[in-house]
Every structure is written in structure tokens, then in C-alpha cells.
Chain A
Amino acid sequence: MEFLAKAAEWFIGLFQEGGNTFMGLVTGILPTLIVLITFVNAIIKLVGEDKVQKVATIATKNIVTRYTILPLLSVFFLTNPMCYTFGKFVDEKYKPAFYDAAVSFVHPITGLFPHANASELFVYLGVAEGLKQQGLPLGPIAVRYFIVGLIVIFLRGVTTEIITAKMMDKRVVSKNS
């Protein structure tokens, strides 16, 4: 009898702990998140997609902005998954590289701008929760995640652009022979 009671207590304990965690997430993270996302959503609507598209077409011109500014703009303003539609502004041969850069930025951006990918927040938030428990500020990690994210998507864009070009050449050769 006592064993059963212990077992029941242990079982319910699992979910009490979960409940406490849930409470912590809802009261600790949600309020700021909601206000921040509302603000950014309003800004996006006020700016309007037309203006963003104009800047985007300029950003396609050179290799550096193509894999940094362009993905940043698209992920910030259109958010995941509609951000990939900005692929239409780049040449055919750059499309895989642009996709690679844009999709690789949908998590690094969430540290500072959670609206961009609200359904996948916990890649960052999961890790950030641990830092919070250690009593550490989240500013430094969010900023560094963002900056390293930009560097990584640039490298990724360039690498994929080169690989795509090589593979396209090979296809042309094999088709002609």
C-alpha cells in the first residue's frame, strides 16, 4: 500500500515539476515576448513589403550582401517560412545558396527578434533557460548568436554557390556528351 502511494507521489511529482517549469516560462518569457512581437509586427506592416522589396533587389547585386543583408531582410520582414520567397530576386544559379543562407538564419535571429520564427523558439530559448538559471544575462549570447549567425550564413551561401556552380557545369557536360 505504501509502495503504491510512493509510486503515485513520484508520478505526480514529474508533472508538478513540469507545471512549475510551464508557469516559469509563461510568466517569465511570454509577456515581454508578446509585446515585442506585437511591436515588430506593427513595424513590418507600417514599412510595407514594397519598400523592403526595393532594398532587397539592391542587396542581390554583390556576393556579400546577397548572403547577409538579403537573408536578414527576408527573415526579419517575411519570417519563416515566407522568407524564402525572396529567392525570386536572385539569379537561378544563386537560388540554392540564398535558400541555404536564409534558412540558416531562422534560428540565430530568434535571440533578438523572436517574431521571425515563433514556432521554433526553443533552439535558442532552451539553451537560454539554462543560462538564466545560472543567473547569467542573456544579452551577450543573443548578440553573439546573431553576429556569428550572419558570418555563418555568409560562408554557407558562398560554399553552396560554388558547389551549385560545379554541379550545374557537370550536368551541362554530361547532357552534351
Chain B
Amino acid sequence: MYRAVKISKGSGGFGGPLVIKPEPGKDKILSVTGGGISPVAEKIAEMTGATAVDGFKTSIPDGEVLLAVVDCGGTARCGVYPKKGIYTVNLTPVGQSGPLAKYITEDIYVSGVTEKTLAYADDKEALPTKQEVRATIDAAKKAKAQEPEKKGNIVERIGKGAGKVVGIFYAAGRETIDSVIKNILPFMAFVAMLIGIILKSGIGDFIAKTIAPYSGSLPGLLAISVIAALPVLSPLLGPGAVIAQVVGVLIGVEIGKGNIPPQYALPALFAIDPQVGCDFIPVGLSLGEAEPETVEVGVPAILFSRLITGPISVIIAYLFSFGLYR
């Protein structure tokens, strides 16, 4: 017995409310959150009568997914499912951000959701599944596109061609500024605050005495890479590369102060990054149209591979750092 459930945004959240109701053949709640099925996904499944599935362990065809539950800090995952036309619940309160921000709209996405923001709803309120809506829009677009274009005379064609190129450059500029505002500037603000506090408060000295010595030697960097590559930790360290970026900034500050020799910058870049994308494996594979069985094998295969290639990458980078800045 399926029931409709209304999902509203939590404090600081964006989008929604979404009213969803499972149907036979479209009754999976996909939980793409590190560390097992999230309690929110579990609760939604229990209330609606759908089945919660751990996106890291099993994979299911997009057509069966009623709703995706993610915990994305605003980079990739929060946009991937809306782009596919799948209702998306983000546990982290982020709005339209990341490279796929334009797909994140109020009618398909809701964020900052907790178990408290769920409620039963009237069946009549249930929204049609988004893929159907998108399909009709696509069909309408196609019909429009099929109208043949008239070929003009040569002057007209040159004019059109030039206009097209200029249009492309202009669109590229607009895209860039969008990206600067949505992706780059917010992180710069965060980094600037972090650096200010580190430099002025004395935390910097503490870091210099405790962590910097490790990142200024090969064994220390290897140790960092092994820890970051541990299959238990790597999916948790991954999201948005926020941790890698913060550590990158910390190392940069220490290099700037002269506590870490500059030639260690190269191996350090690899030492702080063996977990890259480990939080994103099921999503990345499904973007590549992988079969569910492949995802099930692929997640542990990649996590295990990182344990080997993480430290090796540091050694290669170390060898390549000879002759750098001497």
C-alpha cells in the first residue's frame, strides 16, 4: 500500500515542498550518502511504502528511482539527479549551486531535509513523476526544432555565421561569470576567512609545529596518503573535495611561511588527494551508463585500488619534484 508524502525544506534549505507517491515499478528511494542508508531515506521509504536502497552497494535503473537522497555540499551530486529528471532530497541545506546549478529547481529539488520535515499528504496532491514532464517538454522542443530553416543569400549567411560565433563567445563569457559567482567566489570567501584566522590567531603556529613536519617529508606524506585512502574514510573525505581544498590551503600557508620546502608542493598535492571522487563512485558510474552489477563491483574495486595507487602517486610525484624550485 503506497502513500503520498510531503517533503518540505528544513532550516536554511531550498526548494520543495515535494509531494511524492510511489507507483509499482517506480518505488525505490535511492540513498547516495556515505556510510549506509541515511535515516531520512529510511523514514521516507517507511512512510510511503517504497524500498530504500543504498546507492553505494547496489545500483538500480534510473527508471525505477522515485527519489534520490543525497548529502551533497553543493558541488556535483545535488545537480546530477535533477538533471536526470529524478526528484532529489539533499540533507545538506544548499540551494542552486555547483556546475549543474541550472537543473536545481524548486519543483524537483528540496534541501536541508530532516526526519521532522516529512509529513503524510493527500494522494491527490502527488506530483507526476518528473521524467514524464520532461518527456513532454522534450517532445514539444523537438517538434519546434524540426521546422526547416530557410537558406538565405550569401550576405545573409555570412551575417548569420558571424552572429553565431559572436553569440558563442558571449555565451562563454556569461557561463564563466556565472561559474565565478556560483562556484569560485564563495570558496574564495571561505578560504580567505580561513587563512585570516590561521595567520592571526596563532593556530598557524600550532599547525606549523604539529602537522607541517609531516607534510615536509616523504614518509609523512605517504602516511597522509594511506590514511586518506582507507576505504572506510575515503568516501567520507570526498564530498566537494572540501577537505582536500582546506588541507591544500593549510599546506600553502605553511609553504608561504617557509615551514615546508617548496619542492614538496608536488608530492603534497597527491598526498592529500587519494580519496578524490570516492564519495561519487555510484553516481559517476551511472553517468557512464554502467549496469547495476558493474556498480556493485566497481565501488569496492576503486576503493581498494586507491589503497595501492594512493601512496604510489605520492612516490611518483616525489620523483618528479627533483629539480623543482632549486
Report which A residues bind B (CB closer than 8 A). Answer: 10, 13-22, 25-26, 30, 33-34, 37-39, 41-42, 45-46, 79-82, 84-88, 90, 92-93, 95-96, 98-100, 102-104, 106-108, 115, 118-134, 136, 140-141, 144-145, 147-148, 151-152, 155-156, 159-160, 163-164, 167-168, 171
Contact = CB atoms under 8 A, between A and B. Distances in A.
A81 B273 contact: no
Given A81-B99, A136-B325, A164-B301, A130 B188 contact: no
A96 B255 CA distance: 36
Contacts of A45: 168, 171-172
A113 to B, nearest CB: 13
Contact of A126 (B249, B260, B287): B249
A108 B254 CA distance: 21
Contacts of A167: 297, 300-301
Interface in B252-276: 252-258, 260, 262, 265-266, 268-270, 272-273, 276
Contacts of B249: 122, 126, 129
Contact of A159 (B98, B245, B276, B309): B309
B252 A99 contact: no
12 contacts: A15-B193, A37-B180, A38-B176, A39-B172, A122-B248, A123-B272, A123-B273, A134-B255, A144-B321, A156-B313, A159-B309, A163-B304
A19 B276 contact: no
B288 interface: yes
Residue with the greatest number of chain A CB neighbours at <10 A, chosen from B179, B268, B288: B288
Interface stretch (B31-39, B134-142, B151-159, B277-285): B277-285
A93 B257 CA distance: 47
Interface string B180-215: 101111011101111111011100000000000000
A167 B40 CA distance: 32
Given A92-B290, A120-B75, A126-B249, A159 B284 contact: no
Contacts of B320: 144, 147-148
B127 interface: no
Contact of A87 (B285, B300, B302): B285
Interface string B155-182: 0000000000100110111011101101
Contact of B172 (A13, A26, A42): A42
A147 B316 CA distance: 11
A148 B95 CA distance: 36
Contact size range, B:
35 or more
A121 B256 CA distance: 18
B226 interface: no
B323 to A, nearest CB: 9
Contacts of A164: 297-298, 301
B47 interface: no
A21 B196 contact: yes
B280 A81 contact: yes
Name B's interface SS: helix
A152 B265 contact: no
Given A18-B193, A148-B317, A120 B240 contact: yes
Name A's interface SS: helix
B126 interface: no
A35 to B, nearest CB: 8
B76 interface: yes
A115 B182 CA distance: 13
B312 to A, nearest CB: 6
B76 A80 contact: yes
B195 A21 contact: yes
Contacts of A159: 305, 308-309
Given A34-B176, A140-B324, A119 B187 contact: yes
A24 to B, nearest CB: 8
Contacts of B262: 130-131, 134, 136
Nearest to B177: A34
A120 B280 CA distance: 14
Contacts of A82: 99-100, 287
A118 B99 contact: yes
A103 B309 contact: no
A151 B270 CA distance: 12
B244 A99 contact: no
A39 B98 CA distance: 20
A87 B284 contact: yes
Interface string B59-91: 000000000000000111101100000000000
